[in-house]
């Protein structure tokens, strides 16, 4: 069975500071990993994905994520946070072969303070 853990329900950061939203996963075989962002009363918007290749993945709005196979982690990062980054962030995983059902984490609320 596959699973995703987002250990922090909420992350607080000051505007201009770097941010990290943590994600660890468990999956059989090679993982496909995703980050999504959700603003209030909206659906999920795709940020970035790791399929294969370079462990550092760059995505939308200046976000990036680092795939670490030995630590089974895929943490989301941004060098300088904006107040407009405040939202709910979801990490997701599915195996590269077989099931096309992604498993989502519980979500992490990012709050960027002015």
Neighbours of 82 (CB within 10 A): 14
Is residue 56 near another protein by the rule CB under 8 A? no
* Contact by Cβ (8 Å): 90, 22: no
Stretches 15-23, 61-69, 74-82, 98-106: which one binds another protein (CB under 8 A)? 98-106
* Contact by Cβ (8 Å): 48, 36: no
Q: How far is the CB of 104 from another protein (least distance, A)?
A: 5
Q: How far is the CB of 20 from another protein (least distance, A)?
A: 20
Is residue 1 near another protein by the rule CB under 8 A? no
Neighbours of 47 (CB within 10 A): 20
Length of the chain: 114
Interacting residues with another protein (CB under 8 A) = 32, 34, 36, 41-46, 49, 51, 88, 90, 92, 100-102, 104-107, 109
């Amino acid at each position: 069975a596959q699973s995703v853990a987002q250990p922090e329900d909420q992350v607080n950061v000051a505007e201009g500071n770097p941010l990290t939203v943590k994600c660890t996963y468990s999956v059989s075989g090679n993982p496909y990993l995703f980050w999504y962002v959700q603003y209030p009363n909206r659906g999920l918007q795709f940020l970035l994905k790791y399929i294969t290749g370079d462990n550092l993945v760059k995505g939308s709005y200046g976000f990036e994520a680092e795939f670490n196979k030995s630590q089974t982690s895929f943490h989301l990062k941004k060098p300088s946070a904006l107040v407009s980054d405040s939202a709910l962030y979801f990490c997701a995983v599915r195996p590269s072969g077989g099931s096309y059902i992604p498993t989502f984490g519980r979500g992490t609320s990012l709050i960027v303070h002015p």
